[in-house]
Structure 1
Amino acid sequence: MAFQDRSLTCVDCGQQFVFTAGEQEFYEQKGFVNEPKRCKGCKTVRKGTGGHGGPRQEFEVVCSACGQQTSVPFKPTLDKPVFCKPCFVAKRSTM
């Protein structure tokens, strides 16, 4: 299959960027089915911020096992226990 450079629009900044023939060939070799959605600049910014467009949010919680104050990278729910890292690792090793 002959690939040709194509112009795409970045979903973040709206600018045009080139999806080169070489990149298209690479995507095909890797089995990727979706075209890139972001220009190189926006992709770099997104990767540098945890993939969510901003700094990773941490939530302050109390460990359900030892009672120590800790933070977790997800919003905890009331129906599930939350553990600090040492308690989580200890609990996981006993499973």
Structure 2
Amino acid sequence: MVYADKTLTCKDCGATFVFTQGEQEFYASKGLMNEPSRCPDCRRARRAAQNGSSYSNSGPREMYEVTCDSCGRVARVPFQPKGNRPVYCSDCYRQQRESRSSGYGY
């Protein structure tokens, strides 16, 4: 398909911007069907705002101290254990995952 530069209008700031032939080819190669609705500056600002505030609404994550069911060391985990499943420190958890995956031929 042959592409030609298009002039589009940003839905955030109302400025016009060019959706270049190269950008259109890139979008097509990634399977993207819709044209960009924001200018590059507004896209950049939106992306920065999303990346900078991904955890700002929820605050810091609460951590819980537990005793590792494998080695007995104290570990901090981001969930409150319910007691019905074993809880491991990060080293033992990694070993458990590796031993499980090696048993399946991975």
Unpaired stretches in structure 2, ≥5 consecutive residues: 65-76, 87-106
Q: Give 4+ residue runs of structure 1 displaced > 2 Å after superposition.
A: 54-59, 87-92
Q: Give the Cα separation in 1 of the matches to 2:56 and 2:20.
A: 38
Q: Give the Cα separation in 2 of the matches to 1:90 and 1:55.
A: 22
Corresponding residue for 1:77? none
Q: Give the Cα separation in 2 of the matches to 1:26 and 1:91.
A: 45
1:89 CA drift (Å): 2.3
**Given the alignment of the two structures, is residue 90 of structure 1 paired with residue 67 of structure 2, yes or no?**
no
Corresponding residue for 1:43? 43
TM-score of the superposed pair, with normalisation by structure 1: 0.59
Corresponding residue for 1:23? 23
Q: Which has the larger radius of gyration?
A: 2
TM-score of the superposed pair, with normalisation by structure 2: 0.54
Unpaired stretches in structure 1, ≥5 consecutive residues: 60-71, 74-83
- SS of 1:37 mapped into structure 2: coil
1:8 CA drift (Å): 0.5
> What percent identity do the matched residue pairs reach?
40
Between Structure 1 and Structure 2, the one with more helix by share is: 2
- SS of 2:32 mapped into structure 1: coil
1:86 CA drift (Å): 1.6
Alignment: residue pair count: 71
Structure 1 segment 1-80 matched on structure 2, within 5 A: 1-50=1-50, 58-59=56-57, 72=58
Aligned Cα RMSD in Å?
3.1
* Pair 1:21–1:57, CA change in 2 (3 A): same
